[in-house]
Amino acid sequence: MRASSGQSSARPWLVALVAIALAIRVAFLVGDPHPYELAGLSGGNGNMAHQIVAHGRWFEEDTGAWARAVQRATTERRQLADPADVRVPAGTLPRLRPEVLEMPGEALLLAGLWRVTGDERYVYVQVLQAIADSLLVLVVFWLVLRLYRRRRAALVAAGVYTTFLPLAWMAHVPNTDLWAADFTLLTTAALVKALDAERPLRWRLAAGLCVGAGLYFRPTVMLVPLVFALCAIPFAGRRRALLSGLVPFGVALLLMAPWTIRNAVEFHQAIPTRIGVGQALWEGMGELSNGYGAVLNDGVTARQVHALRPDLEYGTPAYDRYLQDKAVRLIRAHPLFYAKVMARRAVFSTVALRNFEWAGAAEAPFAYADRTGRSVLTWPFAEPWDALRVVLASIWEPLLLLAGLATALVTRRRWWRRHLLLLAVPLATTLPYLFLHLEARYLLPASFVWMSLAALGADLALERVAVRRRAPQPALVG
């Protein structure tokens, strides 16, 4: 799997792609510097970071007057409020509780940047995210080139990553989602490198560092080296493949140990990463309308729990365990309903995959018809920008995924071992959510896989067209 010399000749293209990627991500940031989408999660990261910087309290969140003031400012403005712009009366004391519902990676980044700048604003981490994700264009190019030794395929994949708007949009949201995707890509690249490196240990350790760092943003990245190792056995042999998975897994466990120990000390129980499985499992049932009380809404669920168990506080292990028990009882009593929910998730993670957040407030065709009283057929002409965004958001990812799967199927005889290495990523990062709860943003860590495979298919198609054009035409007789 040695990369060809085409990597150096592609340098001007790569410089241009990185610049374009950064421009797109900065454009999203300039256009919406205080994103209201996912503001609850972003605000939670800021809450935890503020306690570190302002009070020296690590991994805790405020549920008192300050937190309510920030939430009120966000809701009233419909913009993510910077903690620097929120004031509370002097002498107001925080009401702190230990955080374990969310991983602390984004909060640690924010706290570090706020400590350096002395200014509690999200823009610093937003700029960092835009730069980091733009540079990963180079990693996509390297990975495809190393796997398939086709420079044009690698450039096409890098180009698709450059213009992939769901990820570009996510770069301006100060939440864990982008870093989960970025560390998954870096982990995969290091694992691929380790398979045939002369000194594989350093790359296995590098993969472990990536997994360990990624765990502080999204726990499912832990599965990537394990599934990758199983898929690499036909490629690299059992011993080398398993070492390439188990060494990174062990390093990641060591990096996660301080957080796990903290959870054990704080909550007096084993919580390796975070809670939330019970909440996700129960609320995930609300993806389909039902008569069992499951609703896909944190606030509604919290009110339901409080009505029956006022002693349980949202975001605590006891609250999560209560919902987990409810979900398990529901699944046992109605397994066919659970199967239907899982089938729906399978559809919405493949052919019906949609990431509409980046499209903003684009008006859908039927909403346009209801508002104007005109025919749906006039929508593309009356609202062309909305139409473009809605159509792209509806077809972009399903087509990319289907093109990637088609390429893998058509070229399975030639590259099936390399395909397995890539397909390990969606298996590891997507499968857990089919059992719990699915949102389109959870699938972003595997998006580079479909880009890579689709780019390979595009390269092969272009090669076939070029061969046909060069083929000699039969002479006319008579």
Torsion of CA 345, 347, 348, 350, to 10 degrees: 120
Q: What is the pLDDT of residues 275-330, one digit of tens each?
A: 999 999 999 999 999 999 999 999 999 999 999 999 999 999 999 999 999 999 99
Q: Classify burial at 465, counting beta carbons within 10 Å of its beta carbon; exposed 0-12, middle 13-18, buried 19 or more.
A: exposed
What pLDDT is attached to residue 392?
87
pLDDT for res 8:
60
Q: Running DSSP on this structure, what letter comes out for residue 475?
A: P
pLDDT on residue 292: 95
pLDDT at 376 over 70: yes
Q: How confident is residue 474, by pLDDT bands cut at 50, 70 and 90?
A: low
pLDDT the model gives residue 236: 87
What band does 5 get if pLDDT is binned at 50, 70 and 90? very low
Bridge partners (DSSP) listed for residue 62: 96
Query: Could you tell me what percent of the chain has a pLDDT over 90?
Result: 82
Whether the CB-CB separation of 112 and 155 falls below 8 Å is answered with no
Residues 6+ apart with CB under 8 A from 380: 387
Taking CA atoms, 405 is separated from 23, 102, 228, in Å, by 30, 33, 18
Q: Is the model's pLDDT at 3 over the cut of 60?
A: no
- Stretch 435-452: mean pLDDT: 96
Residue (of 157, 188, 305, 244) closest to 314 by Cα position? 305
Measure the CA–CA gap between 355 and 351, rounded to whole angstroms. Answer: 12
For residue 187 the two structure tokens come to 């982990």
Start-to-end C-alpha separation, the chain: 52
Q: Is the pLDDT of residue 2 over 60?
A: no
Query: To the nearest whole percent, how much of the chain has pLDDT over 70?
Result: 97
For residues 326 and 88, give the distance between their C-alpha atoms in angstroms, rounded to a whole number: 39
For residue 4, the model assigns a pLDDT of 46
Is the pLDDT assigned to residue 476 strictly greater than 80? Answer: no
The per-residue pLDDT for range 388-427, each reduced to its tens digit, is 888 888 889 999 999 999 999 999 999 999 999 999 999 9
pLDDT digits (tens, 9 = 90+) for 328-353: 999 999 999 999 999 999 999 999 99
pLDDT range class, residue 375, cuts 50, 70, 90 = confident
Give tens-digit pLDDT for 235-260.
888 999 999 999 999 999 999 999 99
Q: H or E segment at 84?
A: none
Contact 174, 126 (CB under 8 A): yes
Average pLDDT, the chain: 93
- Whether 181 and 132 have beta carbons less than 8 Å apart is answered as no
Q: Which residues share a beta bridge with 97?
A: 61
Q: What pTM value is reported for the model?
A: 0.94
Distance of CA 345 to CAs 47, 276, 328, 433, Å?
Answer: 32, 19, 18, 8
* Neighbouring-strand partners of residue 60: 98
Best CA proximity match to 167, nearest among 350, 413, 424, 396? 396
Averaged pLDDT for residues 176-195 = 97
